Every structure is written in C-alpha cells, then in structure tokens.
A and B are shown apart, each in its own frame.
Chain A
Amino acid sequence: MIQEFKLPDLGEGLTESEIVSWHVAVGDTVELNQAIGEVETAKAVVELPSPFAGTVTAIAHEPGTVVEVGEVIITFEVDAPAGTGPRRNGTPASSQPVTGEEPQKRVPTLVGYGADPESSKRPARRARSFAASGSTTTATTVPAAEAAAPLASARVQADRPRSTPPVRKLARDLGIDLAVLVGSGDRGLITRGDVTALVGDPTRESGAAAEVPASNGEGRTGSWNAAGNAAREVRTPIKGVRKFTAAAMVQSAFTAPHVTEFLTVDVTAGMDFLARLRASREFADVKLTPLTLAARAVCLGIARQPSLNSRWDGGANEIVTMNYVNLGIAAATPRGLVVPNIKDAQQLGMHGTAAALGELSSTARSGKTQPADLAGGTFSITNIGVFGIDAGTPILNPGEAGILALGAVRNTPWEYQGGIALRQIMTLSLSFDHRLVDGEQGSRFLADVGAIISDPAMALALS
C-alpha cells in the first residue's frame, strides 16, 4: 500500500520548510526512522526520519523547494499498515536501490563529505548530520545498539559550520559554502564579514557603499564553467559601458602622464569619529562610511591645492581651474563601471555628502544613473577597499586631474604613542596628471587628505 509523508510542522507554528537534500532516491528501500532527507525551517535544519519501512515510490519536491506544511513530500510502498513495519535491528536490506540508476558514490573530501553530487541546482552545501553515516543510500537507522553506545548521531551534528540564519542566507545567495570558511566570531562563529571578505561584498559594515560589485554572477566565486561542453573561449561583442570604459581609459592613459603616490595612514581616530556620528540623531538617516570622510577630505584638500581640480584644454592652450568640485565616485554596477559625480560637492557638509553618496550609490546600483550624472566630473574617488584591496594605480577619468583610491581599513600593528598597537590602517593611492600637477602639489594634497581622514579635527586647521 502507498503511504504518503506530509511535511510536518517541525518547530512550533511553522508554515513552511525548504527541502535541503534527499538522502534517498526513488526505488530505495528504507527502514523505519532511517534518515531520508533534510529540511530547513525558519529555526533549524532538521533531519527527517522515515515514518515508514518500505520502498520510496516518489519524491515530490526537489531540494531547494519551499514546501508548505501538510504537502506530500515523499511517498512509500509499504507492506504493513502505517508505522508498524519491520521495526529495526535488521541491517538495511543491503541498502542499495532496488531499481533505478546506480547511486552516485560520495567522494570523500578533505573535510567531511561534499553534498550530493546529483542533488540540485543549488550551490554545493556540506552534508551535515548524516556525514558520518556513510553513503547517501545507507544512512543509518537508530537501532538500540547505537542508543546504548556512543552518541554518534548527536556528535556528528557538530560538523556543521556555526553561523546565523542571515549569514547562511547571504552565503547561499553568493554561492559560498560555509564549510570553506573559518569563522572569526565568538567560538568560531562565521560572521557576515567572513562571508563578504571572500567576495568583497560592498554592503559589509566596514566598507563604503558606493562601489557595487557587478552582480551578474559570472566568476564571482572563481568557479570555472564546469560544463564539459562549454566553449574554450567566449567571444563577447564590445559595446555599451564596456566599450565606453575602454575608450576612456585608453584616452586617459595615453594622453595624461600619470603619477601615482601612496600614503598609508592610521585612521583609527577617523573611524571613531564616524562611529560617534553614527550614534547621533542628526546622522541617523544616512550611511556613514570611510568614503564619506574621504569625500569631505578631498574637497577640503582641493581648496588648498586647486591644481588637483583643473583640466587640460589643449585646443584652447589653456588650463581650466574649477572653483567647484564635481566629485566622481567609481561604481561597479550590473552594467559595468560608471563614475557618476556629485555636483558641487564642495558645498556639502558631512551629512549632505553622506546623503548624496547614498543616493548616488542606490541610483547606480539600480541602473538609473542619468547621463548628466556622469558628465562634468572634476575629481574622482574609487573605493577599492570594499574588495579588500589596499592600494593601486588608478587611471584618471578623462578630463580630470586627479583620482584617489581608498584601500581597505585593516587592523594592523602600528606605531602608536611610542609603542606598537593594533590600529586601523588604510592606504591612499593618488594618481594625478603631471601636465597639471607637480609632485609638490600632489604630495601636499595627499598629505592633507590623509591628515583629515586620520584625524578629522585637522579639517579645522586645514580649511
């Protein structure tokens, strides 16, 4: 007789659960209480023990499917009335499928076992509690022999990487297997930062918001297209943003003689300053990041070194120095790199700058940046720190005299008050057009910007 197993409410008032994996396939013989699969509720990932002894006749939902409580998820052919089948202690009848394809063997990896090779379209995820039980089709029952002896079934639970549900979701969305991460949180807890550090996600706390990694998904986790029939080379038409970017970079690189300078500064006080602002009521509605501070510092620095905010007009044989700053922010968007700018950024205070950056970033991310936003920039900032990068040699946005790259803020042993202390350190990389700016002006500008980011009070002294 056919018996159905409906998804139960596994945790006090849940309405749905997601099928994580099946340990059995159609045709498999299962014992009563044999682990047949895993589902994830809003509260936990739980293993489902078979309510029947019999043969699997149908699996109703693939892994990755969210199923409502009460829906049939798997059906069995059973000999005896419900739940009264052979009661255990028989070894699972050779555990091999009675019919159907050869079960795929699990391939042991260095740490535990990988996920079912055939399981799903979803990212590989680590087997959890059944890891120690052996192959997919021989998941053990819980016979009394085991009950009396060691706590095997409980112990293997510990193999699951510790993290929180939002972090697990983030990792799943990004296609990251938590098992490859080493948690930096309390007792090995994998934090959001651990996950984002792997991909340089811009939304993480310490980074700025403006640079948005392209979310087209290709190559994000460095995985090769594994399909055997994929072409060895892919030809993509050069068009759109890519074509524009290429032209602009070539024009810039071969027109303006670039000089790049680096300055590494202790930004602990600057970060404290941001933290204090975040806690204040006035700044509750905006996002404050190192980029906000850098944008302000650049505007103040430009006031002291106007040549950084000038343009080479070869046709007129003139140098044009602007008395305004249209501050460009390099943003990686789904369409590619765009550098929208904040008009008259010099007029904005800290709050105005933060608000403008937030708007610019969300507009760029949603692909709604208007051509006018992209035109007329006078100086640019690129925030490579969000990718976990320290320094680089940025190429000028055509027509601009300078571009500043912000590195990642890192806790680093650093000279502090005559000793070594763990400080928050950041490297600034400034490229400038040597036709317009000499080493003196460029260096003074970079020193000013660094001074303000490392100690925002310097803004008073330098303005």
Chain B
Amino acid sequence: MLEASANSGASPQPGIHQLIAADGTGVDDEELAPLVADVDDEQLIQFYADMVTIRRIDMEATALQRQGQLALWPPMLGQEAAQVGSIRALDQDDFIFPTYRENGVAFLRGADLAGIMSTWRGSANTGWDPHKFNMATPQIIIGAQTLHATGYAMGLVLDGRETLSIAYLGDGATSQGDVHESMVFAASFQAPVIFFCQNNHWAISEPVGLQAHTPIAGRAPGYGIPSMRVDGNDVLAVLAATRWAAARARSGGGPSFIEAVTYRMGAHTTADDPTRYRGVTELEEWAAKDPIARVKAFLQGRGKLDAAAEAEVAARANAVAAELREGCINMPDPAPMSVFDNVYTTEHAILDRQRDHYERYLAGFAGTESATSKLEGSRS
C-alpha cells in the first residue's frame, strides 16, 4: 500500500466491502450483510430500475447537449449504483448537499426532470426548491458543499433534530482545503454528517493515484472520523454502507466517511474528451464491473427479472427520457426580470434598486421587436 501505484489503477483493490461481485454472484460480507438483511428481490428490482432509469436520463441529456438543447451536461455513466445505493438509504428528511453530478440522486429525490435540466440548459440558477426536496442545488465549486453539509449538521444538533446531512464529493475534492476543514469541524462537533465520496478515478484529467497514494478512505480516521471503503458499483454494498453511516449519525455517533470506489465511464462533462488522458483498457476493465449488469445477473441467477420485467423497466426508462426531452426542448426561456428572483429571502434595498434600474433599461426597448426577441433569448 505504500507504493504510489497502489491506488492508481482499475485493478481490484484490497479492503473493499462488497455484497454483489462484478459477475453477479453474492458475496458474504459479515459487516455489511446484516445492514441489508431486509432487502428483498422486489426492492432489488426497484434499485435495478432506478439505475436503468438514471442511465437512460444520462444518455438522453448527453444527446440533448450534442443537439444544442443543453449548454453542458456532467455524465454519470458508471456511477449509477453509488447514486442509487446512497439515496435509497436516506430518509426524505435527510438533507442532501450534492455536487453537479448527482442528477440521478436529484431525480430519485423527486425533483422535476425539466427542473433538473433547466440548470444545464442555462435557463435557471436553481433546478428545484431546496427546501421542498431537502436537497441543495448542484454545487459547482469543488468541495464547497462539504462545508455546507457540516454546518447544516451542526445546526441539526443545535435544533435537537434526529435527521442528518450528506455531502456528496468526488476523489478530486478530497484535495480541497474545504473538505479537510469540513472534516475537522464535523469531528470536533460530532456533527451528524455523511461524507459520501465517489472515487470515480478521475479528477477531470488527473488520475486518483496522483492525489491519493493510499486509499482516500484512509484519510478520515486521521480526523477521528470512521470510514468505510465500499465497491461503488455494488448498489447493495453502497446501500449498506450508507445505512451504516446514517445509523451512526442518527444515534449521535457523529460523522462518517464512505469511499465508494466506482468509475466515471463518460466524460467529466460534455466539454471534455476523456480519450485524451485515460488508459486505453480502462473502460473495458470497468465495463466488466458494470453496476447494472451485475444486479441483473444477480437477480436472474435467483430466477427473478424475466425478459418481460426487463422490458417493462426499459419502457419506463424510455418514458422518463421522453418526458425529459419534452420538458427540455419546450422549456420557456426565463423572463429577464427573473434574474432577481431567489437571490435573497428577504427584501433587499440594493437589489431593489438594481431591479428598478433594469426595469427602466428594458422599458427603453419597448416597441423594437428585434430587441425584445433578443432579450427573450430566442433559442431554436
């Protein structure tokens, strides 16, 4: 483990908790198994459907970006199990602080598809009401959400609440000062926060081995935060690990850190070309560990999920994709004055003045058609 290469590649790594192996066979993990003893085939089929659906969302959104309907999209291909397994371990009251890649989490939390897309289309700063869904808006600043999650969790303690907060972060974010400060505060105040790190092996174009010469999960104990390293492509193992962390948080046990070892099969965003930096065999190696294929194999090995059920899941995923497309391409462009909405929760004198100025500025265009259409931001 001391070698620099120990954590750099796609090869199997020791010390990773797993319940369903890459080939779909069950794995006996004494620590995790009791945490998911209640999960039956029906629930597992639901997880499978969740994963198929968010992968389908990812594909449609990627296509929409290529068609000029979205400005940008951060693909989540390959990370479906990490997203599904974690969100399905949480209660609706638990507050989620996501990165920009947790669009599958947002969908499963209940956010409106068109709303999710509005941010990526550039139509809105906020795709959903954070308070309605107990989920903050996508955080673009790497690692900043861990501070928010920690602060929120500290507030939960003060409020005497029994819920928790979860910060999603990536392997690259663990190099950020924000993340380290968050962990110091979380440990100091024993805040009920889960640091859920999806190690997808690439911080844009930097391989994880560059920033973490030993497993990332090993950092947390240094702050006094227990951690667990789990197969991030194993939805059941992710569910179990998140339940472990959630139970600790709810029972006053303080923060936990989960490293879900997964792989970003797609680009960092649609503006990125991963073929320029990743190894030629990486995709093949990780495709063999595909999160959806292994659950499918696991279920089929148990005689569940026949062709009809599979087709039904696919059909439902297609319907979601169709709804997404409709919502996206028919999305009205925002009115110019809406830029002032949702900036402050209360009246704000400076903002009011700016609103007034902008209103009068816009009024100056009255009657000139070209200007109006320009302001409305015509998008064909």
Chain A residues at the B interface, C-beta cutoff of 8 Å: 5-12, 33, 43-51, 82-84, 87-89, 142-145, 147-151, 154-155, 157-158, 160, 162-164, 187-188
Q: Which of A47, A83, A151, A162 contacts B66 (CB under 8 A)?
A: A47
Among B56, B65, B280, residue most surrounded by chain A Cβ atoms (within 10 Å)? B280
Which of B28-36, B221-229, B268-276, B350-358 forms contacts with chain A?
B268-276
Known interface pairs A144-B56, A151-B283; A88-B318 also in contact (CB < 8 Å): yes
- CB pair B275–A162 under 8 Å, yes or no, is yes
CA distance A445 to B246 in the complex (A): 82
- CB pair B275–A160 under 8 Å, yes or no, is yes
Additional A-B contacts beyond A144-B318, A157-B283 (15; CB < 8 A): A5-B67, A10-B270, A44-B272, A46-B270, A51-B67, A51-B69, A87-B322, A88-B318, A143-B318, A144-B314, A144-B315, A148-B317, A158-B281, A158-B282, A160-B275
Interface residues of B in 299-332 (CB under 8 A from A): 310, 313-315, 317-318, 321-322, 325-326, 329
Q: How distant is A11 from chain B, measured CB to nearest CB, in Å?
A: 4
- CB pair B276–A162 under 8 Å, yes or no, is yes
Question: Counting CB contacts under 8 A, is B108 at the interface?
Answer: no
Among A46, A83, A148, residue most surrounded by chain B Cβ atoms (within 10 Å)? A148
Q: How distant is A178 from chain B, measured CB to nearest CB, in Å?
A: 11
Known interface pairs A82-B329, A83-B325, A187-B280; A148-B68 also in contact (CB < 8 Å): no
Question: Counting CB contacts under 8 A, is B154 at the interface?
Answer: no
Q: Which of A9, A45, A49 contacts B63 (CB under 8 A)?
A: A49
- CB pair A150–B315 under 8 Å, yes or no, is no
Q: Which of A33, A43, A83 contacts B273 (CB under 8 A)?
A: A43
CA distance A145 to B318 in the complex (A): 9
- CB pair A11–B66 under 8 Å, yes or no, is no
Residues of A within 8 Å of B287, CB to CB, are 150-151, 154-155
Question: Number of residue pairs across A and B with beta carbons under 8 Å?
Answer: 124
Question: Counting CB contacts under 8 A, is B88 at the interface?
Answer: no
CA distance A143 to B313 in the complex (A): 12
Size of chain B's interface in residues, with CB distance under 8 A? 50
Residues of A within 8 Å of B283, CB to CB, are 151, 154-155, 157-158
- CB pair A158–B275 under 8 Å, yes or no, is yes
Nearest 4 CB-CB pairings of A with B: A8-B68, A44-B273, A11-B271, A144-B314
- CB pair B272–A8 under 8 Å, yes or no, is no
- CB pair B280–A11 under 8 Å, yes or no, is no
Q: Which of B59, B60, B71, B329 contacts A9 (CB under 8 A)?
A: B71
Q: How distant is B357 from chain A, measured CB to nearest CB, in Å?
A: 28
A82 and chain B: residue at smallest CB distance: B329
Residues of B within 8 Å of A155, CB to CB, are 283-284, 287
CA distance A459 to B372 in the complex (A): 78
- CB pair B77–A11 under 8 Å, yes or no, is no
Residues of B within 8 Å of A33, CB to CB, are 59-60, 63
A87 and chain B: residue at smallest CB distance: B322
Per-residue CB contact flags for chain B residues 45-80 toward chain A (1 = under 8 Å, else 0) read 000000010011001100101111101100001100
CA distance A245 to B179 in the complex (A): 71
Question: Counting CB contacts under 8 A, is B292 at the interface?
Answer: yes
Known interface pairs A12-B72, A47-B66, A49-B67; A151-B78 also in contact (CB < 8 Å): yes
Question: Counting CB contacts under 8 A, is B243 at the interface?
Answer: no
CA distance A83 to B296 in the complex (A): 32
Question: Counting CB contacts under 8 A, is B265 at the interface?
Answer: yes
- CB pair B276–A148 under 8 Å, yes or no, is no
Known interface pairs A154-B77, A162-B275; A147-B52 also in contact (CB < 8 Å): yes
Q: How distant is B259 from chain A, measured CB to nearest CB, in Å?
A: 22
CA distance A50 to B52 in the complex (A): 22
Question: Counting CB contacts under 8 A, is B380 at the interface?
Answer: yes
Please name 20 pairs of A and B residues whose Cβ atoms are closer than 8 Å in the assembled complex, sorted by A: A43-B271, A49-B63, A49-B66, A51-B67, A89-B318, A143-B314, A143-B318, A144-B315, A147-B55, A148-B52, A148-B296, A150-B293, A154-B77, A155-B284, A157-B275, A157-B283, A158-B275, A158-B281, A162-B277, A163-B276
Question: Counting CB contacts under 8 A, is B234 at the interface?
Answer: no
Residues of A within 8 Å of B290, CB to CB, are 150-151
Per-residue CB contact flags for chain B residues 249-283 toward chain A (1 = under 8 Å, else 0) read 00000000000000001110111111111011111
Known interface pairs A46-B66, A144-B321, A150-B287; A12-B56 also in contact (CB < 8 Å): no
CA distance A149 to B273 in the complex (A): 23
Q: How distant is A297 from chain B, measured CB to nearest CB, in Å?
A: 42
Residues of A within 8 Å of B284, CB to CB, are 155, 158
Residues of A within 8 Å of B325, CB to CB, are 83
CA distance A302 to B314 in the complex (A): 82
Residues of B within 8 Å of A49, CB to CB, are 63, 66-67
CA distance A164 to B275 in the complex (A): 10
